[in-house]
Amino acid sequence: MFSSPSPVRNATQGTPRNGAQDFLGNRGRSPRFGTSGMRRVSLDHRGESPSKYMDVDSSRLGIDRGRYSEESRVFAVSDTLSIRLAASLPAELHQEFQSSDPTRDDFSGSICVFPGPVTYGLVVSVQTCFVWRVDLQSAFTSPTCYMFPVPPPDPSNSYLTLPFASLVSFGASREPGLILVSSSGEVRFWDSIGIGLAGAERFSTAKIDILENEVVQGLEQIDSMVYVARTKTRLHRLTVTARPGTGKFVIVATPFSDRYSQNSTWLSFRLFRRQSTWDSGDIVTVATPSDKPKSKHAGVLRSEQKPVWVLTNRNIMQWNVGMAGGEECIHNYEIRDVIGEAILQGKQGNMSSLDLELLDVALDSVGDPVILVSHLPVFEENPSVFDMNTGPLRIYALVRLSLSTNTDRPQVKTGIEILPYELASDPRRALAPRFTVLREESEGAPELTFSQFSDAFAFSALEPPYQEQLHLKDPDDMVLAFGVIERVDGPEVLLLTTGMVLAAHPNIDNIRKMKDDVNIGKANVLKSTIRQAMKYGIKLENPLRFQLPSMADEDSLKTAAEHMSYAFLTSDPDVVPPSLSLGSQLASRESSLKALVTFIGESGTLSKLSPTAREQLLANAEKLAAARGVWAYHNEEAQKHSSLNVLYSAVESYMRHSNRQTDGDILRDFFNSEVSNIASIIPEIVASAQSAVKTSDQPQDAQLLIQSSGLVEAIFVSAFNYRTQNRAKYQLANPVIQPWTSDSLLLSNLRHLFEMVANLDPHIASIARGGGSTYGNKGVHEPIALHLEELAGCLFKAYSDRLEYLNSHAEEGTAMERERNRVDEEYRVLRPVILDHLVRAGRTEYAFTLAETYKDFHALSGLSYHPSAERLMSAKDRIQGYINRFRGDFASQLFQWYIEQGKLRLLFDEEDTYSEYIDKFFGDHPTPRISWIHDLKKKEKTAYLNAAEALLHEAANESNREARHFMLSLGKLAAMAQGPAETPKGKVRDFDTSLDFMAIHDTLLEQLNDGADAPASFALESRVRAIMSAKCAVPSDRPALQNLFQRTLRSLLQGNALSEEDAVDLLSLKDNSESALDFVDALNIISNSHYIKEDRKPQAFRNVWRRIYLHDDWTEIRKIANRTDYELIPKLRNTKVYQVLASSGLNRNAIVLPSEAIDVPTVEDIAKRWPGMTPGQVQELVDDYNTESQVLSSNGPRDIDFADVRRLVEKDLAITL
């Protein structure tokens, strides 16, 4: 089979693509094989420069054999495709490429496969045609090159400068000939390429009869001696014929005839006549089917006829071409709209937005045409196909058509096959894409296609799922042409690039198996691409760049990426070769996982992986980094302390407990296949350390603890370092899975290990490590302090990572939120403990580093004032630096620390310097107890009023009586200082009421002490007992009320400010024989209170009035038999009821009748007032209240008695109550 030469498309017709990186990060121009640079040489009109090829260092001609072993000739191997170096290029052609500019100079080429098979390569430049035999048996030898001068281009044509070339086969007995056709129609023919060694000056010529302004645009071979040259609208036959009697061959050019079959009589135009008008579209290409199969659309082929398919930008036509002469058009179908409608089916868009191009045609196994097309993407379906430099990338696809002679409208036979290639910006001169259908006669074999692009090539099955694409690595390299060799084990494609000839061999059997499971097949192709990138992409001599298709589906990509990651994690022999050095192997596996994500990222497909999948890839790489780190530490320790083998013991214990099989070398078995469980050995290591601590008076046990600490640190630090350095490559923001280093069990073991190391006896540790210098006043040995540093850093990092995960996933009211709160509190408590240990170990600066790194500003505040820190730098300077660095975030925590530590003087000493931050702090964290000081110092208009309100609010919550009195006094002064115009009405009165209440405290205390013989010098309990005995009016049958009086009295004697309800109880339960004013004060406190809830006030009134009524013996008062009114009235005036009603300060709304005072508080009322009481204590109070109520009901005044007293008061005082 012959390949079609690839005509050069003008650079303006193609879409430029910028040089891309390979997965190892190589970018830009790289030397080609066997050369070390570029050199520009001017050529004469015959394409020869006498010194051009003699100037070249012979070591740079062809391919350097020293760089290639048999293994290194292989550039890609997968289950479905292998690619190797097939042959080198001629030295002359190498130099031509080296001295060219790929952005400006045009080249075209072809691979011609003749029977045998005998293969020739052909490359055409603007001045020279290079021809050579492709020697597939000697890949490293520079072949003999035949060079021919090309016809000059049409000077009026600026976009088609290259001639078109093809070889002519005369059989195995002689060398082939060569045809060159210029764009202006000049034909040159050499009947043997051998003359190319002697200047190639003798050739025969012909002229294609083209119209004015018409140019030749292509040359295709349809038989060994017959060729078709095409212009934009016409076809011309070129026939190689023997010159009678000479043994020489000449070439003849004739236009296609105008005969038509009956099938084409419907056409309303005359094709290909010189004066005819061509309206079937511009000719794109001409194709000829192979001998197998025959075209089912050819009708009856006469002897020596061959079918020829002509593709235009709108139509597809079939011609029968006679080898001895004569051409007949038998079919002409309009296909552009049919294909466009199929692409747009079910999507939004129209033909104009699609920008559809028909590029090439080939026939499938049953003779139906397959069209290679390109179009702009339909963004609703594929929004990712976009290049920032050029806009939308073009999509390439294969469309299978079913043609019928009964209708002029063909049908799309199956679904459209999207090729895994998108044209990106490329500075090189673009070649028109070409493709072919590969023939394979075995039963059930898939129909494969091969597609050629300037910078890539692709294999694809006409029936999915198989697709595979490879790119050229070097941005200066190009795919010029391809040819197909039919071999016993299937077709082999030869690819001509500007660097070498490659051989690509698809594995038909394995591709056939992919049909069984489409999803597995897709994933396997992606996995194969990744594996090859890891294995072959690292070869500097490999011209291929492996790349995942941007259209890869998410599930297949996830399966492939995770499988490859796990393969490296578990030392799959397919990707991890055996190695004597475990350390080197671990380093290589870690590097491979790093390269894996880099490769996926540079392929532009990383975003298709879910964040969970990317997190898993990162975790796998972290575990390999941890394994590498712990193995390195183990090796280092083994040289120093060969008698200790903590790692071996931990691994052996893990393998035994998990029933893992081993070949005897436990450590290597673990690191080869169990790295995914690296975290599982941490509890084993800590357990061995814990057993050592129990006998830590022995130096060897201390050494075991130190080694255990080092191993755990190596695991965590290596994992953390990898995460920090590489997380950005995985394009991860908030964690979507919990970091494996932050597992609860690991955190617990890490905390426990830190505690053991922190509490290790420094003297024992010093002996264990062989002595050495110490740090700090505590004498902690340096290695111990270093271990403390590492463990502290690991704890901070592990906890912060866990909280970051929980914060991004915890929803209110969920178990995860509760876990977040628990971990946050645990971390909050743990941080100062860790930092304190570091300071005591002489690692103060590292403590600062940790607190700064994790922004623990509260800890930084405390550390700054630590004596050991102040020896290094004054607290004032540190704090100034932190405020300059962290600004308000640090200032807020600093001020909070000042308040917690009672260092208010430090807070307000800096008020002038940090007033802005202090204002914001008190605004964000209302602290009226302190902020009033700040308010008084401010010069704002309402500063005094703000201070007054803060003092009033805080005074209500102040338990110390003297402090409350001071705050109220100062607040009243501030309110008055604000001035009446700006002070709200009643604000001063609120202060007066509160101050009156404080005065009641003083009066009450004086009354209780008077006559109780309880001076302040007595012990508190002695004073309480004395006052209880002298002043408590509660009968002994009400013990709960006695206890209430006693508790309230004790609080008063301790200097506390009573709550208003407590003061009311104390006033109403004490002995008020001498005066009723305390009852009145109690009622007024209730009336004026802003702090007793309104729903509790009625009950408070009832409680006081019940005790007023119970104060007098109403049974005796009601004995009026044989007594005059004059004898009764004095008794009524002596009752507390009369005295209270007659008081000038009584609020009339506070009066409660005896029948109302019988109601007592419920259990709920008491529980609300004293929430800390036990149910038993509440019930005792309820019982005592009920006792009061019962006594009032039986012995107290009746409402009629109260009315008599009330009338007496109104009469005596001439008032109305």
58-84 confidence digits (pLDDT tens): 333 345 544 555 667 899 999 899 999
797 and 696 in one domain?
yes
Q: Is pLDDT above 90 for 775? A: no
Position 737 scores a pLDDT of: 92
408 and 295 in one domain?
yes
Q: State the CB neighbour count (10 A cutoff) for residue 623.
A: 24
Q: Is pLDDT above 90 for 482? A: yes
Measured distance CA(1160)–CA(956) in Å, rounded: 28
Position 810 scores a pLDDT of: 79
pLDDT band of 1190, cuts 50, 70, 90: very high
Q: Between 381 and 324, where is the model more confident?
A: 324
741 and 769 in one domain?
yes
pLDDT band of 296, cuts 50, 70, 90: low
Q: Is pLDDT above 60 for 660? A: yes
pLDDT band of 17, cuts 50, 70, 90: very low
Phi, psi dihedrals of residue 85, rounded to the nearest 5°: -70, 125
- Concatenate the DSSP letters of all residues of 1050-1080 into one string: HHHHTTBPPPHHHHHHHHHHB--SS-SHHHH
For the ranges 176-180, 274-278, 505-509, 885-889, the lowest mean pLDDT is seen at 274-278
Nearest to 68 by CA among 544, 575, 542, 472: 542
User: Within a domain: residue 196?
Assistant: yes
User: Within a domain: residue 980?
Assistant: no
Q: What percent of the chain is predicted at pLDDT more than 70?
A: 85
798 and 888 in one domain?
no
User: Within a domain: residue 946?
Assistant: no
Q: What are the distances in angstroms from CA 825 to CA 796, 799, 829?
A: 14, 11, 6
Query: Which of the residue ranges 56-60, 699-703, 944-948 has the most confident prediction, judged by mean pLDDT?
Result: 944-948
593 and 569 in one domain?
yes
Pairing state between β 490-497 and 479-487: antiparallel
User: Within a domain: residue 15?
Assistant: no
Q: Is pLDDT above 70 for 26? A: no
595 and 647 in one domain?
no
Position 518 scores a pLDDT of: 65
Bridge partners, residue 231, by sequence: none
Q: Is pLDDT above 70 for 488? A: yes
User: Within a domain: residue 1107?
Assistant: yes
Place of tokens 């007054």: 948
Per-residue pLDDT tens digits for 842-899: 899 999 999 999 999 999 999 998 888 877 788 888 888 999 899 888 988 998 898 8
Q: Where are the beta strands (DSSP E) in 882-1016?
A: none
Position 67 scores a pLDDT of: 52
Position 9 scores a pLDDT of: 34
Per-residue pLDDT tens digits for 555-578: 999 999 999 999 999 999 988 988
Query: Which of the residue ranges 83-97, 265-279, 339-353 has the most confident prediction, judged by mean pLDDT?
Result: 83-97
Q: Is pLDDT above 80 for 247? A: no
558 and 493 in one domain?
no
Exposure of 470 in the CB half-sphere (CA atoms within 13 A): 30
Per-residue pLDDT tens digits for 159-190: 677 899 999 998 888 899 999 999 999 999 99
Sign of dihedral through CA atoms 427, 433, 438, 444?
positive
Per-residue pLDDT tens digits for 898-934: 888 888 888 877 777 777 888 888 878 877 778 777 7
Q: Is pLDDT above 60 for 784? A: yes
Which tokens go with 979?
């001035």
1094 and 1170 in one domain?
yes
1106 and 1061 in one domain?
yes
Angle at the Cα of 668 from the Cα atoms of 663 and 669, rounded to 5 degrees: 45
User: Within a domain: residue 451?
Assistant: yes
Q: Is pLDDT above 50 for 32? A: no
User: Within a domain: residue 941?
Assistant: no
Measured distance CA(605)–CA(401) in Å, rounded: 32
Q: What is the distance of C-alpha 1021 from the center of its chain? A: 67
Position 70 scores a pLDDT of: 64
Position 973 scores a pLDDT of: 87
Nearest to 367 by CA among 309, 441, 427: 309
Domain that holds residue 451: 61-516
Q: Between 596 and 811, where is the model more confident?
A: 596
Select from 843, 871, 890 the last residue of a domain: 843
Cβ–Cβ < 8 Å for 701, 692: yes
Q: What are the distances in angstroms from CA 1124 to CA 704, 1120, 1130, 1131?
A: 105, 8, 11, 12
Per-residue pLDDT tens digits for 970-1012: 888 888 887 776 677 778 888 888 899 999 999 998 888 887 7
For the ranges 110-124, 909-923, 1129-1143, the lowest mean pLDDT is seen at 909-923
Exposure of 692 in the CB half-sphere (CA atoms within 13 A): 29
Q: What is the DSSP letter of 66?
A: G
For the ranges 425-429, 594-598, 699-703, the lowest mean pLDDT is seen at 425-429
Q: Is pLDDT above 70 for 322? A: yes
Helices (H) and strands (E) counted in the chain, each on its own, are 39, 36
Position 484 scores a pLDDT of: 95
Position 538 scores a pLDDT of: 83
Measured distance CA(692)–CA(675) in Å, rounded: 26
Q: Is pLDDT above 80 for 490? A: yes
DSSP 3-state assignment of 161?
coil
Which tokens go with 1094?
């309104």
Bridge partners, residue 399, by sequence: 371
Position 58 scores a pLDDT of: 35
1037 and 906 in one domain?
no
Position 1166 scores a pLDDT of: 93
Measured distance CA(165)–CA(120) in Å, rounded: 13
For the ranges 566-570, 668-672, 899-903, 1156-1160, the lowest mean pLDDT is seen at 899-903
Q: Between 538 and 1184, where is the model more confident?
A: 1184
Measured distance CA(411)–CA(394) in Å, rounded: 24
Measured distance CA(1139)–CA(1109) in Å, rounded: 12
690 and 764 in one domain?
yes
Cβ–Cβ < 8 Å for 1052, 1007: no
Measured distance CA(916)–CA(938) in Å, rounded: 11
- Concatenate the DSSP letters of all residues of 517-548 into one string: -HHHHHHHHHHHHHHHHHHTTT-TT--EE---
Q: What are the distances in angstroms from CA 913 to CA 476, 883, 906, 933, 1135?
A: 64, 11, 12, 16, 66
577 and 511 in one domain?
no
pLDDT band of 278, cuts 50, 70, 90: low
Q: Is pLDDT above 80 for 1212? A: yes
Q: Between 427 and 133, where is the model more confident?
A: 133
Q: How many domains does the chain have?
A: 5
User: Within a domain: residue 922?
Assistant: no
Q: What is the distance of C-alpha 912 from the center of its chain? A: 45
Nearest to 794 by CA among 729, 749, 839: 749
pLDDT band of 673, cuts 50, 70, 90: very high
For the ranges 188-197, 754-763, 979-988, the lowest mean pLDDT is seen at 979-988
Q: What are the distances in angstroms from CA 224 to CA 80, 168, 178, 409?
A: 33, 6, 12, 34
Pairing state between β 74-77 and 81-87: antiparallel
- Concatenate the DSSP letters of all residues of 104-127 into one string: T---EEEEEEETTTEEEEEEE-SS
Select from 516, 537, 557 the last residue of a domain: 516
Average pLDDT for residues 24-34, to the nearest whole number? 30
